């Protein structure tokens, strides 16, 4: 049993944020039915690399496991009628059309879905929401990183504002959407009523602007780009060694002392420039210069292990191929294999209802359309008619 066994999710999302969130729901047992438009999810073509057998790029495959795949043309009355039929037995509808898109099709929450399906949870993911100065505008991860201040605090120290290398706004919004859906399901177990969840990339990005916003609220000082160093802690930086770079994070005075003892620089412990964190923060460049020669003599893996044994957090700067091959990654089941398809695991480890990330491969376009329609009560003749009309699809249209 998964924690969400018995929950049916109709997933109309495309690209990254929504699919990331619904993948986590599927990992934990929800029956996620991914409904694609006639041309398919855009990211099926975001490659190379491509998996020709799966009919999609890695970008699609990485966020669409544990879902069944169907396709509808919601521009057609017949396609919208199929969606409404599916919602009769659904718990959740999640979509990321521009605000007003569902209303344009006669599928708005307040006017239609709330009335017809009072227990339905409808989650909409958009760039900025439906109203406000940016209401209705499109949102993309990198653009929102810029608008929400993330780029202004990221990059090499003293260098230009830089996009984060991970699409953290999309991923964070997907996580938040999954959390919101779980909360709404819990609340529904008491009230018996569904509700609308208004998720935006912008709100999520602003909520993640930590600790920079907190620092600004208290000090009134504008945050600056600090590179690998920390605006509130020192030492907190990458240090070169004989073999690799190591990130060392001294979160308190005890850890600073342990670092000094490990590398043979006990003389720095009582140096007035470094006695307390506030002192080290002011003199962080001087501290780096003092640490540098001693750390350069170490093997990076050995240094990180020695520091960790003392309780001082440290770790080598690994590349992707090293991470996915690491014994601890495998031990934590953070890479999984689904019939020869390799992907990342789910981090939410529950004792009685663990995730089942290795359940279903990402679906080929429309592979489950006929089965989903049959479950909804359509006869074989009706299914053939829907596919012939183009309202439902079981293969990608040229």
d(CA 215, CA 222): 9
Tell which residue, 299, 287, 284, has the closest CA to residue 240: 299
Which one is catalytic: 170, 237, 368, 394? 170
> 249: helix, coil or strand?
strand
Active site residue 368: no
| Strand locations in the chain (E) | 8-11, 31-36, 50-51, 56-57, 68-72, 92-95, 121-126, 196-200, 236-240, 245-249, 314-316, 335-338, 341-344, 392-393
Tell which residue, 163, 274, 166, 288, has the closest CA to residue 238: 288
d(CA 48, CA 69): 22
Tell which residue, 166, 146, 157, 281, has the closest CA to residue 228: 157
d(CA 30, CA 338): 18
Could you tell me whether strands 245-249 and 121-126 are parallel, antiparallel, or unpaired per DSSP bridges? Answer: unpaired
The β-bridge partners of 200 are 126
The β-bridge partners of 9 are 32, 92
Whether the Cβ atoms of residue 306 and residue 296 lie closer than 8 Å to each other? no
Whether the Cβ atoms of residue 92 and residue 125 lie closer than 8 Å to each other? no
Catalytic site positions? 170
């Amino acid at each position: 049993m998964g924690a969400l066994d018995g929950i049916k999710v109709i997933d109309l999302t495309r690209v990254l944020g929504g699919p990331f969130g619904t993948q986590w729901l599927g990992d934990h047992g929800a029956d996620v039915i991914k409904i694609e438009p006639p041309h398919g999810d855009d990211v099926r073509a975001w490659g190379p690399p491509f998996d020709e057998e799966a009919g999609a790029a890695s970008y699609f495959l990485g966020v669409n496991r544990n879902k069944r795949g169907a396709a509808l043309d919601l521009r057609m009355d017949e396609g919208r009628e199929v969606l409404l039929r599916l919602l009769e037995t659904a718990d959740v509808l999640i979509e990321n059309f521009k605000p007003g898109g569902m209303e344009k099709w006669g599928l708005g929450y307040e006017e239609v879905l709330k009335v017809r399906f009072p227990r339905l949870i409808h989650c909409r993911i958009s760039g900025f929401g439906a109203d406000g100065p940016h209401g209705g505008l499109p949102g993309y991860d990198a653009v929102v990183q810029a608008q929400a201040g993330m780029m202004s605090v990221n990059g090499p120290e003293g260098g230009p504002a830089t996009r984060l290398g991970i699409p953290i706004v999309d991923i964070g919004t997907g996580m938040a959407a999954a959390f919101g859906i779980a909360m709404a399901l819990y609340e529904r177990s008491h009230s018996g009523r569904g509700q609308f969840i208004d998720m935006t990339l912008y709100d999520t990005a602003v909520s993640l602007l930590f600790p920079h916003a907190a620092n600004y609220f208290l000090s009134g000082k504008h945050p600056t780009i600090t590179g690998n160093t920390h605006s509130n802690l020192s030492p907190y930086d990458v240090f070169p060694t004989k073999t690799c770079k190591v990130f060392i994070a001294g979160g308190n005075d005890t850890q600073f002392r342990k670092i000094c003892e490990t590398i043979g620089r006990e003389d720095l412990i009582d140096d007035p420039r470094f006695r307390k964190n506030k002192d080290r923060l002011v003199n962080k460049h001087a501290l780096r210069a003092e640490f540098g020669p001693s750390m350069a003599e170490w093997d990076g893996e050995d240094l990180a292990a020695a520091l960790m044994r003392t309780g001082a957090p440290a770790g080598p700067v690994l590349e992707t191929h090293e991470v996915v091959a690491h014994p601890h990654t495998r031990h934590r089941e953070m890479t999984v294999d689904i019939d020869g398809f390799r992907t990342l695991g789910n981090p939410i480890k529950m004792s009685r209802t663990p995730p089942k990330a290795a359940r279903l491969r990402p679906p080929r376009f429309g592979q489950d359309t006929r089965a989903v329609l049959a479950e909804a009560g359509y006869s074989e003749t009706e299914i053939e008619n829907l596919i012939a009309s183009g309202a439902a699809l079981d293969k990608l249209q040229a």
